[in-house]
Structure 1
Amino acid sequence: MCGLLGLLTTDGTSDDAVARVDSAMHCLRHRGPDEHGTWHDGDLVYGFNRLSIIDIAHSHQPLRWGPPESPERYALTFNGEIYNYVELRAELAEKYGAQFATEGDSETIVAAYHYWGTEAVRRLRGMFAFAIWDTETRELFLARDPFGIKPLFLATGTGGTAFGSEKKSLLELADLIGIGTELDPRAVEHYTVLQYVPEPETLHKEIRRLESGCYARVRPGGRPEITRYFEPTFPVRPFAAGRERDRYREIAEALEDSVAKHMRADVTVGSFLSGGIDSTAVAALAMRHNPNLITFTTGFEREGYSEVDVAAESAAAIGARHVVKVVSPAEFAAAIPEIVWYLDDPVADPALVPLWFVAKEARKHVKVVLSGEGADELFGGYTIYREPLSLKPFEYLPKPLRRAAGKLSERIPEGTRGKSLLHRGSMTLEERYYGNARSFNDAQLRAVLRDFRPEWTHQDVTAPIYARSAGWDPVARMQHLDLFTWLRGDILVKADKMTMANSLELRVPFLDPEVFRVASQVPLDQKITKNTTKYALRQALEGIVPPHVLHRAKLGFPVPLRHWLRGPELFEWARAVIAESGTEHLLDKAAVGRMLDEHREGRVDHSRRLWTVLVFMIWHGIFVEQRIVPDIQEPAYPVEV
């Protein structure tokens, strides 16, 4: 695990380029405080910060490897973990006589690339963002894991191509690579609607992300040539009558195998634990490999907004030692600027705040944690996935009647029963569903954004994804969409950023190719029923997850934001954020202030929209105005002796 930064120059490296990369690495210290350094080779400069997890005494970066005839042909810098590296090493040694000088997973990546070429990325079970420099062909190969667990930012200008684990490190090199730092107005609008910036965009126009499941090849003076190597599909396989238990067993075995491989580490591994089925399943399976497992959860100083009691009961049921962090409203507000600095781009999901605190607490005890991200997208866990069942009668209506129902809904007063049903039923799936984050509608956007463009909609993001799932059942299409939007734009961003901010590695066993393989075959009636979600997964986890959790609805880390923004906890704080923000050219601050007042008076619940704007204002204050300077307590590098 590490924070990586690289620069492939147009016309050769210089001492200044090496020094600039080295300097920019300091804003990534949190991602790898155990080792630090730079390396260069004519056209390329690598910077790296290592968080040592596997083969601690060796596997230093950049890692050099090559076949016997050219033993240092390749140079690798790598962020992530490969969980099947033991099996791959054995296969490479047996088939090709590959030789390894370390006991880590990094050499496996380079050897696989040498012998299998770009096909190697399809063989890797893990989370990764890496760069391989071929000193003979002078070609750089960049790759990112199938689901987007680990980030990789890219920027290409007249001076070359820079790539890194965090955008802020590329901003430090903007003038060196010849790119501007202006904002992308379309990305701003997308963020406001979705609560996150969708891949491959960032809020800076000339910095983009290598998308999940993609690799890129680039030569000095050229632009990255990007190829998608992984496209998640849902080849549904109906459960044979009387053989349901066999399929449930297959799911359980795939998850158990994934957790076993995710426990591979030379440091202590703990587990996050909420009151839901996903994290409890992971923790329970992890206990089979570490009877001394420590679990972690967080809650708030407000009754009814905490899963602390359920998580503690779960920890006791599986026999884990349990650690709890309770967060006050004052702590919550005070942490926001620092959290936003670590995020790079704003993510308006308040759940990332408790995640930040529980990660900080966990790092006092362990260096690696497991978590349950991805289960909902793979097995059909979101309540919204039941929407196609409730709207199915509308499918039998002619299109004109459906549109008429939509027009009728517009004339029905807000809050009237049936208004929402008519509105949603009048639209196609592609029109109504754009992921779990739905913040502003067009009318609300027009009131808040100075440069509202109605032609920039969520369909910029979703239409190409929906086009690839034509003909699938509606829930599979929603899952597929969420894998490319909500999961990699929100869930995995906050998981990576909040844990790595605390030099803590987070592993997600559900997001494993083998787990996805069995999950993708689960038919609709085994995902969503009239009374529950994730039906097949719940059946598979009988005997693994304690009964009090097995059929409980998912809550995660609920945040009492709606109440806090109405009361003394956050109202004055929010008013100050709006007043001090220098975003008048982008946002109608008076309109935002009116939203805050309406929310306080209880007339409308604006909490989600307010939070989206407030987080953006703080982000703008840090990265654009440079008016807000968070108190970043970055870890120190080890002292060399």
Structure 2
Amino acid sequence: MTTIYGIIGPSDAGEMAAMAGRLTHHGAPGPVWSPAPDVRFGRVGPGAAPALDGDRVLFAGHIVGGGGTAGQPDGITPEALLIQALSLNGPDALAGIDGGFAVALVDPSGRWLHLARDPYGLEPLSFARLGRGGIAFAGEYKALLALDDVIARPDPDAITHFLHTGYCRPDECFLADIRPIPPGHGITFGLDRPAPADRRRFALPGPCTSTRPPEAHAAGLEAALTDAVRRRLPPAGSPPTGPIGVSLSGGVDSAFMLAAIRACRPDADIHSFTVGHGEDDPEIEGARLAAAHMETHHHEVILSPRDLAAILPDAIAQVEDPIGNEEYPCLFAMGRVAAEHVDTLFIGNGSDTLFAGMPSHRVAHAAFARPRLRRGLEELMTAERSGIPPASRAGRLLLHARHGDHPPAAPPPVNGARHVVPPVSFTPEAPEPLTRMLHRSIADYDGRMGAQHMLFAGPGLSVRMPYWDRDVIRAAMEMPDGVKIHDGQGKHVLRSAAARRLLPPAIAWRRKGIQQLRHDRDFADMLDGLACDLLHPQALDHRGLFTRDQIDRLQAARRDVYASADAYRLWSVIVVEIWARLFVDARGARPAR
């Protein structure tokens, strides 16, 4: 996996070398060149070299042949395709290119630099203003911190949003002076005085639900996903490129993807990988079932809480903003095993967002379908997210039904934060309010939420995400709400599509969980041990984000073990402190262990 970096404004070779040095987990640094006065471009990773078709384009990621362009003919580089598409259709051409990419482009006049990301943010790209004037940009913001005049200070508002929701807003990261290019956006900088001169969102197709019967939607989805997989595999008849890797959970999304790969390449050498907490982990059991049915070389990664604590600094150093819960360090451990066997890894990220696979989607669907319950469900979700007690009787009853006499604690306030996270609101939009809500989620989707590209960059894996295919997304946006959630079950149409011809019912209709550890006494002891090591009064005073009484309140929620909601409150504060030690104190240098 190649990544990119560069500087607009006065710079020297030493600064470019310092930035490249933070990115060597992608591979060897490639050449550095100047496409215009006071502009330097560089790449790090396999085959990193200037484009043969002109050196004014800097590209990372992959373009899928046939995805909104004329395809990618043999011998034509992605850079050449981008130049051709942009010259014909302008910046909006990027919305029609399928794949995940980050691009920097100097226009032919030499006066403007354009930075852009693919419509769904699968490839990361951030920038920072330099104290001397100018900007620096990079696929990972740890490279920006190699420059002395990029300030490393936490953003209390972004951290507050993370503590309440589990993620950052698309144009924010944990650092106040670094900003991501939002997914599907292009930002233009004038080279004579580098400041954002224009920011625009590339056009995306809106929801357009169809009245076709459910069987027709399932058939269309099966065809779309199979074609998306086929276009991400090496061309048939091409020289062997080694075995194909698949990240396999216990649910239908990754099993369906695996079945599509097998349907496209019946004789392929496929290695599947899964991670969990032991033999009785439902995700381990489900992945094993799918791997046996599809005859893969299957690899299981078993982690204990002690293992998780040991790899956590490396995982956060890799992923940067530690968004989510323990799923990303688990996947990080799995990726290191996968890299020993394969170069390309297919992952099923995106299906939950497209086909309403999350518990919050089922809650929203119920709120839209039953207006009398809407307020209570909104208050339930707000209480779980922000700890605000429900005001209505319905909300209190729903909260008690979910959490008994011990509702989730409120996230600790972050010193210096001004951002107030709004309460959850399920405002219906006719027609098909759930599909319209999912479309907004897709439009704001940030690849950090999946984080797989960043997680697997360290082992050097090339990642493929067929669910983030334009035709698959279009098929999802044509489906009415009742096709996605049926009888309270999410991803109903995905299961129907998988069961048509590719998967047996025992796999297609199997209940999906989350790749996580068991929240038992060992897990609680691990959290308390990390809190003791990292969140002692001297450390908290030095950091200035939290106070010790807030940590004591979180730890007081433990009985014999932590309830999952309370465990994640403490987990979130712990990972913020680890992140701060890596990216504020050490300015993005790799951890010593």
Band of TM-score, shorter chain: 0.7 to 0.9
Q: 1:87 deviation in Å?
A: 8.4
Report matched runs for 1:6-405 at 5 Å: 6-9=6-9, 13-14=10-11, 16=12, 18-31=13-26, 33-34=27-28, 36-41=30-35, 42-52=37-47, 60-65=48-53, 72=54, 74-84=55-65, 88=69, 102-157=75-130, 159-175=133-149, 179-220=150-191, 221-224=193-196, 225-231=198-204, 233-240=206-213, 244-264=214-234, 267-268=241-242, 269-290=244-265, 291-302=267-278, 304-391=280-367, 395-396=371-372
Code of the aligned partner of 1:626: A
Q: Which moved more, 1:349-358 or 1:117-126?
A: 117-126
Q: 1:109 deviation in Å?
A: 1.9
Deviations 1:569-589 (A, max 9, x none): 553233222227723321022
Deviations 1:267-316 (A, max 9, x none): 33311111111111111111234423323333344454352232122111
**Aligned in 2, Cα 1:419/1:183: closer, same or farther, shift over 3 Å?**
closer
2:591 pairs with 1:624? no
**Alpha-carbon separation, structure 2, partners of 1:82 and 1:393:** 40
**Aligned in 2, Cα 1:390/1:415: closer, same or farther, shift over 3 Å?**
closer
Partner of 2:569: 609
**Is the Cα contact below 8 Å between 1:412 and 1:419 reproduced in 2?**
no
**Is the Cα contact below 8 Å between 2:123 and 2:453 reproduced in 1?**
yes
Deviations 1:336-380 (A, max 9, x none): 111111122222421001100111111111111101111111122
Q: Which moved more, 1:126-135 or 1:265-274?
A: 265-274
Taking only aligned residues, the RMSD between alpha carbons, in angstroms, comes to: 3.3
**Alpha-carbon separation, structure 1, partners of 2:477 and 2:374:** 32
What secondary structure, in the 3-state scheme, does the structure 2 residue paired with 1:307 have?
Answer: helix
Q: 1:456 deviation in Å?
A: 1.9
Partner of 2:384: none
**Aligned in 2, Cα 1:64/1:159: closer, same or farther, shift over 3 Å?**
farther
2:391 pairs with 1:407? yes
**Alpha-carbon separation, structure 1, partners of 2:472 and 2:395:** 47
Code of the aligned partner of 1:40: S
User: TM-score normalised to the size of structure 2?
Assistant: 0.86
Code of the aligned partner of 1:20: E
Report matched runs for 1:536-575 at 5 Å: 536-542=493-499, 543-561=501-519, 563-567=521-525, 569-575=526-532
Report matched runs for 1:583-602 at 5 Å: 583-584=540-541, 585-602=544-561
Partner of 1:423: none
**Alpha-carbon separation, structure 2, partners of 1:627 and 1:40:** 26
Q: Which moved more, 1:307-316 or 1:609-618?
A: 307-316
Partner of 1:498: 455
**Alpha-carbon separation, structure 2, partners of 1:143 and 1:398:** 39
**Alpha-carbon separation, structure 1, partners of 2:104 and 2:587:** 35
Q: 1:510 deviation in Å?
A: 0.5
Partner of 1:97: none
**Is the Cα contact below 8 Å between 2:65 and 2:71 reproduced in 1?**
no
What secondary structure, in the 3-state scheme, does the structure 2 residue paired with 1:624 have?
Answer: helix
What secondary structure, in the 3-state scheme, does the structure 2 residue paired with 1:566 have?
Answer: helix
What secondary structure, in the 3-state scheme, does the structure 2 residue paired with 1:206 have?
Answer: coil
Q: 1:129 deviation in Å?
A: 0.6
**Alpha-carbon separation, structure 1, partners of 2:43 and 2:402:** 56
**Aligned in 2, Cα 1:561/1:78: closer, same or farther, shift over 3 Å?**
farther
**Aligned in 2, Cα 1:64/1:19: closer, same or farther, shift over 3 Å?**
farther
**Aligned in 2, Cα 1:582/1:259: closer, same or farther, shift over 3 Å?**
same
**Aligned in 2, Cα 1:566/1:603: closer, same or farther, shift over 3 Å?**
closer
Deviations 1:36-71 (A, max 9, x none): 22112422101211235xxxxxxx532142xxxxxx
Q: 1:245 deviation in Å?
A: 3.0
**Is the Cα contact below 8 Å between 1:306 and 1:558 reproduced in 2?**
no
**Is the Cα contact below 8 Å between 1:346 and 1:616 reproduced in 2?**
yes
**Alpha-carbon separation, structure 1, partners of 2:3 and 2:369:** 51
**Aligned in 2, Cα 1:614/1:628: closer, same or farther, shift over 3 Å?**
farther
2:477 pairs with 1:482? no
Deviations 1:433-477 (A, max 9, x none): xxxxxx987xx24x5534464x52147xx99xx99x954533224
**Aligned in 2, Cα 1:109/1:598: closer, same or farther, shift over 3 Å?**
same
Q: 1:190 deviation in Å?
A: 1.1
**Is the Cα contact below 8 Å between 1:299 and 1:325 reproduced in 2?**
yes
**Is the Cα contact below 8 Å between 2:301 and 2:333 reproduced in 1?**
yes
% identical equivalent positions: 23
Partner of 1:427: none
Deviations 1:512-544 (A, max 9, x none): 111111110000111111242112222122221
Partner of 1:449: 414
**Is the Cα contact below 8 Å between 1:64 and 1:76 reproduced in 2?**
no
Partner of 1:577: 534
In structure 1, list runs of 5 or more residues that go unmatched.
Answer: 53-59, 66-71, 94-99, 421-438, 634-641
Partner of 2:382: none
**Is the Cα contact below 8 Å between 2:51 and 2:77 reproduced in 1?**
no
**Alpha-carbon separation, structure 1, partners of 2:548 and 2:588:** 18
**Aligned in 2, Cα 1:107/1:136: closer, same or farther, shift over 3 Å?**
same
In structure 2, list runs of 5 or more residues that go unmatched.
Answer: 380-388
Q: Which moved more, 1:375-384 or 1:574-583?
A: 574-583
Q: 1:553 deviation in Å?
A: 1.7
**Aligned in 2, Cα 1:417/1:35: closer, same or farther, shift over 3 Å?**
closer
**Is the Cα contact below 8 Å between 2:245 and 2:273 reproduced in 1?**
no
What secondary structure, in the 3-state scheme, does the structure 1 residue paired with 2:188 have?
Answer: strand
**Is the Cα contact below 8 Å between 1:143 and 1:214 reproduced in 2?**
yes
Partner of 1:431: none
**Alpha-carbon separation, structure 2, partners of 1:581 and 1:279:** 45
**Is the Cα contact below 8 Å between 1:496 and 1:506 reproduced in 2?**
yes
Count of residues in correspondence between the two structures: 567
Code of the aligned partner of 1:316: A
2:474 pairs with 1:517? yes
Code of the aligned partner of 1:2: T
Partner of 2:386: none
**Alpha-carbon separation, structure 2, partners of 1:38 and 1:3:** 13
Q: 1:495 deviation in Å?
A: 0.9
What secondary structure, in the 3-state scheme, does the structure 2 residue paired with 1:407 have?
Answer: coil
